Each structure stands twice: as C-alpha cells, then as structure tokens.
C-alpha cells in the first residue's frame, strides 16, 4: 500500500492495486462535513481522477461513522446571504463529473450530507451497523445536496418521503431492501468487501468502465430514445481503443486479457 505523499487536513489517502482509498478523518465529530473537508475531498477526487495509476476509488469513514452530516457548528450562525456566498453546493456538484467509479464503504452513521455523499458515489457497500437517514427536517431545514433528488430516484417517492419527512434513520438491511445499497456485510468486513469489488473493476478496460458510468448517469437524465443513441455512440467509440482489440483477441486466443487503458 502506498500512502499518497501529500499533506491532508481531514482525509487519509492510500493507493493499493490501482485502487485509491480515501478515509474521511474527523472522528471527534463523527466525520461532520465542514467546508474545508468538502473542498479537500472534491479536490482529491479530481486529482485521483486524473491519475493514471488509479482506476477505482473507495470512499470510507470509520466504524462509528461514514459521516454524520454537514457540520452543524458551521451552519448554526449562518444566514442566507452567508450560505449563498459560501456556494458550497457548486463544489459538491463537481463530484458528479468524476469519471472513475467511486465505491462508498459505509459503516455507522451516514446522515444528512453523509447520506447524500454516499448516494453521490456510484456503489455503496454497507456494514451491518450502518444507519442511513436525512434528519435535516429535525433541524428546521431540508436536504440541500441531493437528498430529495437522488434518494427519490433510488428508492421511489413513497419511501423517500417517509425517510425525508420523519428524519428517522434506516438500518443497513432496510437500505438494502429498498435498493439504496448494493449489499450488506459484517461491519468489520465492509472496507475489505469494497476493496475487493474495486479491484475487480480496476482490472477492466478503463475506457469501457468510464463510458458505462457515463451512459448509466445519462439514463437517469434523459429519454429512453436519447439514452439508447448515447449508449450506441459510446459503444462505437470503444472500437477505437486498443483494449477492445486486446479484449476480443484474448477471447479468441482463450487467454486472460491485459488492458492498458488505451
């Protein structure tokens, strides 16, 4: 495992087998997402996205919390002008444009902005002790980083509204049942399971992985017909890659392909 040489304030970042691991690191406040952490996280995601040594990213917290939400201390005294001036959501939106797959490994609390951060990732592996929720309503506000939008798309109107209107957290099992997470594993196995999945994806041809991710997000944003055309053009594009030639040749030669990302 290579510790990525760089000074981080609120993150720990490692690289192993072409998988980057980002750990949120404000354990004293259950990884509450302050402005500095979100800035550092998004900058780091963008840097890893440009790094050819990285093919997949795992984002995690600790056993007690993935993240218990935006930092309430930082918002408590802020008025509307200050919140608008901070323009926090513009930073957050940049996560959407990361081209490499991001897997959230969630143990403990994933609440408010923490749940929104997990949903902004592409896949979620949950430990048995994970708790997902959008408790903003209990603070007199509402989600502001995708809680009403992504959650509704993921689990449907009725379930989303119950979670959003009560503010009550749901268990990992329930999150699995309603399609919010990919799978539930024992708490201590959560990161390993996410890494195992990430390493499998890291072996795949990077350009195909990238275009599959792009096309799936397109499906959430467009009509079926436009999405089908988008998919087809992505498919054709892959015929320009060396990895397509390698993948098909390896199949015909009955050997494992070795993808180069070209």
Interface residues toward ligand DAK, by CB under 6 A: 29-30, 32, 38, 68-73, 88-89, 92, 109, 111-113, 116, 135-136, 139, 144-145
Tell me, letter by letter, the H, E, C secondary structure of 78-115.
CCHHHHHHHCHHHHHHHHHHCCCCEEEEECCEEECHHH
**Rounded Cα distance, 116 and 125, in Å:** 15
Q: Which residue, 95, 54, 50, is CA-closest to 198?
A: 54
**DSSP secondary-structure letter at 70?**
B
Q: Which of 187, 149, 141 shows the shortest CA–CA distance to 167?
A: 141
List the catalytic residues.
70, 113, 116, 136
First to last CA, the chain: 25
Shortest distance in whole angstroms from residue 130 CB to ligand DAK: 12
Rank residues 112 and 205 by Cβ distance to ligand DAK and give the closer one.
Answer: 112
Report in angstroms how near the CB of residue 115 gets to ligand DAK at its nearest.
8
From the number of C-beta atoms within 10 Å of its C-beta (0-12, 13-18, 19+), residue 22 rates as buried
What is the three-class DSSP state of 226?
A: helix
Nearer to ligand DAK, 19 or 32 (CB): 32
26 Cβ contact partners less than 8 Å away, ≥ 6 residues apart: 10, 32, 34, 37
| Closest-approach residue to ligand DAK (CB) | 112
Give the 3-state secondary structure of residue 185: strand
- The CA distance from 236 to 31, in Å, is 43
Output 40 or 71, the one with its CB closest to ligand DAK: 71
> Which lies closer to ligand DAK via its Cβ, residue 39 or residue 203?
39
Q: With respect to ligand DAK, which residue has the nearer C-beta, 16 or 149?
A: 149
Query: What is the nearest approach in angstroms of ligand DAK to the Cβ of residue 118?
Result: 12
Minimum Å gap between C-beta 174 and ligand DAK is 17
Q: How far is the CB of 93 from ligand DAK (least distance, A)?
A: 8
């Amino acid at each position: 495992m290579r510790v990525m040489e760089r000074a981080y304030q609120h993150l720990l970042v490692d690289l192993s087998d072409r998988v980057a691991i980002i750990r949120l690191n404000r354990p004293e406040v259950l990884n509450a997402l302050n402005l500095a952490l979100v800035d550092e996280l998004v900058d780091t995601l963008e840097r890893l996205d440009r790094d050819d040594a990285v093919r997949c990213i795992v984002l995690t917290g600790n056993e007690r919390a993935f993240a218990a939400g935006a930092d309430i201390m930082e918002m408590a005294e802020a008025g509307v002008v200050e919140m608008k001036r901070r323009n926090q959501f513009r930073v957050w939106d940049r996560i959407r444009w990361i081209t490499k797959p991001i897997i959230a490994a969630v143990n403990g609390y994933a609440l408010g902005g923490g749940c929104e951060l997990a949903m902004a990732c592409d896949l979620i592996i949950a430990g048995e002790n994970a708790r997902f929720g959008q408790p903003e309503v209990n603070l007199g506000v509402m989600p502001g980083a995708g809680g009403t939008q992504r959650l509704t798309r993921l689990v449907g109107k009725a379930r989303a509204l119950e979670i959003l209107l009560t503010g009550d957290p749901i268990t990992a099992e329930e999150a699995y049942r309603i399609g919010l997470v990919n799978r539930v594993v024992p708490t201590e196995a959560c990161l390993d399971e996410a890494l195992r999945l990430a390493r499998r994806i890291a072996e795949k041809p990077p350009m195909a992985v990238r275009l599959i991710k792009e096309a799936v997000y397109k499906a959430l944003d467009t009509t079926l017909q436009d999405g089908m055309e988008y998919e087809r053009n992505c498919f054709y594009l892959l015929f320009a890659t060396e990895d397509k030639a390698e993948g098909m040749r390896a199949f015909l030669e009955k050997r494992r392909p070795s993808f180069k990302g070209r």
